[in-house]
Amino acid sequence: MHVNKDIRYVGVNDHQIDLFEGQYIVPNGMAYNSYLILDEKVAVMDSVDANFGEEWLNNLRAELNGRTPDYLVVQHMEPDHSANIMQFAAAWPQAKVVASAAAFTMMKNFFGTDLADRRVVVKEGDTLSLGRHQLHFVAAPMVHWPEVIFTYDSTDKVLFSADAFGKFGALDVEEEWACEARRYYIGIVGKYGAQVQAVLKKAAALDIQTICPLHGPVLTENLGYYLNLYDIWSSYRPEEEGVMIAYTSIYGNTQKAAEQLAQMLKAGGCPKVVLNDLARCDMAEAVEDAFRYSKLVLATTTYNGDIFPFMKEFIHHLTERNYSNRTVGLIENGSWAPQAVRIMKGMLEKSKNLTFAEPSVRIMSALNADSEAQLNALADALCR
């Protein structure tokens, strides 16, 4: 695949994987992207996962057509992109490796060598000339590892964006970009919104016509759409008006309350209502929905003097990723000593700009006229 006449795609699709990073379900697989820039000098942009080293090298050789790479640019040292650095180094011993100082430290940790005899250390503002193509390096620390650099080709106006603007899913599967890009971003990069905002400010000063990420498709049209979503996600603003209800239920009574609240919200004109059973759904999808919508309802039981484990895990995922700028409603169920509302509020106390909708709903074992009235009042508050 050609990105343009000088830049070739040499990445691979992975349909063997079941869990990306050991936790994210990827039903449509994963792409590990690598690119080749052919000029007076030849640069390879990143490697791929260890399971696809030979396929990657074969892709490279086919596109090189007898030429020899001069550089391997390492933008990110996570093993799904760096695993084959030493194989590349052995195949083309005269090629230099270009990376940040922090990346070379990581190479020593991963491979036992920092390639001192052939390394080119680059930092923010450094450039590398390939002939017609001029590569400019942009520091992107903590997007989402500390060693990350982006590379901007000012000749063809291409941004090689490391993991930024990536998504779950192999490239030989057709699917809508935003859903899997959102789940990928919030799950993997979501904690580092401030750092993403800093890089977006740098990107705003560049004339970008193509984005080449390390996962997902090459982006060539309507780039403002992707940049705007990244701005929304990294500033922790709601993407859509709507209510996500996340619940856990032991004997079905809390589930009934969550479902009844959903019906009340729809009847009250809420534009979007989404239900997630935290014990059964993909937790990463539930976290994605919480960040997507403007309002969140947490409904759970008091359990062992605490809250139900799946709810505890869910709230931890939210706070770890700086969940903020939302309205939150709370529902607790307890047969003799309900305290889930107190515990959930305590877990969220360090989150910024949260508004707690009133009233909180208390269910004593099962819904009755009093707790249904509380549900109605909460629905009214959330719909206002």
CATH number for the domain harbouring residue 371? 3.40.50.360
The total number of residues written for the chain in this structure: 384
Task: With residue 204 as reference, give the H or E element that holds it.
Answer: helix 193-204
Phi and psi dihedrals of 330, rounded to 5? -130, 135
Among 203, 234, 265, identify where a domain stops.
Answer: 234
Q: What integer pLDDT is reported at residue 287 of this predicted model?
A: 97
Long-range Cβ contact pairs of 252-257 (< 8 A, separation 24 or more)? 253/333, 253/363, 253/365, 253/366, 253/367, 254/299, 254/300, 254/301, 254/331, 254/333, 254/363, 256/366, 256/367, 257/299, 257/331, 257/333, 257/361, 257/363, 257/367, 257/371, 257/375
Q: What is the DSSP string of 268-327?
A: TT-S-EEEEETTTS-HHHHHHHHHHEEEEEEEEEEETTEE-HHHHHHHHHHHHTT--SEE
pLDDT per residue as tens digits for the range 77-102? 999 999 999 999 999 999 999 999 99
Domain assignment present for residue 53? The answer is yes
Tell me, yes or no, whether 204 and 295 share the same domain. Answer: no
Tell me, yes or no, whether 19 and 160 share the same domain. Answer: yes
Q: Burial code of 45-79, b = ≥16 C-beta within 10 A, e = fewer?
A: bbbbbeebbebbbebbeebbeeeebbbbbbbbbbe
Phi and psi dihedrals of 213, rounded to 5? -85, 170
Pairwise CA distance, residues 336 & 365, whole Å? 8
Domain assignment present for residue 77? The answer is yes
Tell me, yes or no, whether 179 and 40 share the same domain. Answer: yes
Q: What integer pLDDT is reported at residue 337 of this predicted model?
A: 87
Task: With residue 32 as reference, give the H or E element that holds it.
Answer: strand 30-32
Domain total of the chain: 2
Could you say which DSSP state residue 99 is in? E
Q: Which domain holds residue 303?
A: 242-383
Query: Is residue 253 predicted with pLDDT exceeding 80?
Result: yes
pLDDT per residue as tens digits for the range 350-360? 999 999 999 99
Tell me, yes or no, whether 185 and 263 share the same domain. Answer: no
Give the gyration radius of the chain's Cα atoms: 24
Q: Which two tokens stand for residue 9?
A: 């795609």
Q: What integer pLDDT is reported at residue 267 of this predicted model?
A: 94
pLDDT tier at 384, thresholds 50, 70, 90: confident
The amino acid that residue 192 corresponds to is: Y
Closest by CA position to 151, among listed 199, 83, 89? 199
Tell me, yes or no, whether 194 and 266 share the same domain. Answer: no
CATH code of the domain in which 104 resides? 3.60.15.10
Tell me, yes or no, whether 174 and 285 share the same domain. Answer: no
Q: What integer pLDDT is reported at residue 332 of this predicted model?
A: 96
Among 234, 264, 293, identify where a domain stops.
Answer: 234
Q: Which two tokens stand for residue 358?
A: 């009133």
Tell me, yes or no, whether 73 and 213 share the same domain. Answer: yes
Tell me, yes or no, whether 306 and 176 share the same domain. Answer: no
Domain assignment present for residue 2? The answer is no
Domain assignment present for residue 1? The answer is no
Domain assignment present for residue 190? The answer is yes
pLDDT per residue as tens digits for the range 183-242? 999 999 999 999 999 999 999 999 999 999 999 999 999 999 999 999 999 999 999 999
Tell me, yes or no, whether 225 and 321 share the same domain. Answer: no
Torsion of CA 92, 83, 33, 215, to 10 degrees: -160
Among 165, 200, 234, identify where a domain stops.
Answer: 234
Q: CA 222, 228, 232: angle at the middle one, nearest 5?
A: 155
pLDDT per residue as tens digits for the range 269-315? 998 999 999 999 999 999 999 999 999 999 999 999 899 999 999 99
pLDDT per residue as tens digits for the range 305-348? 899 999 999 999 999 999 999 999 999 999 888 999 999 999 99
Task: With residue 361 as reference, give the H or E element that holds it.
Answer: strand 361-363
What is the rounded average pLDDT of the residues 115-143? Answer: 97
Pairwise CA distance, residues 4 & 318, whole Å? 40
Tell me, yes or no, whether 205 and 246 share the same domain. Answer: no
pLDDT per residue as tens digits for the range 21-44? 999 999 999 999 999 999 999 999
Could you say which DSSP state residue 41 is in? S
Which residues have a Cβ under 8 Å from the Cβ of 167 and sit 6 or more positions away? 177, 180, 181, 184, 213, 215, 216, 217
Domain assignment present for residue 33? The answer is yes
Pairwise CA distance, residues 233 & 188, whole Å? 12
Q: What integer pLDDT is reported at residue 271 of this predicted model?
A: 87
Pairwise CA distance, residues 210 & 208, whole Å? 6
10 close to 212: Cβ distance less than 8 angstroms: no
Query: Is residue 1 predicted with pLDDT exceeding 90?
Result: no
Tell me, yes or no, whether 227 and 250 share the same domain. Answer: no
Domain assignment present for residue 105? The answer is yes
Tell me, yes or no, whether 246 and 210 share the same domain. Answer: no
Pairwise CA distance, residues 104 & 98, whole Å? 9
Task: With residue 380 as reference, give the H or E element that holds it.
Answer: helix 369-383
Domain assignment present for residue 188? The answer is yes
pLDDT per residue as tens digits for the range 152-190? 999 999 999 999 999 999 999 999 999 999 999 999 999
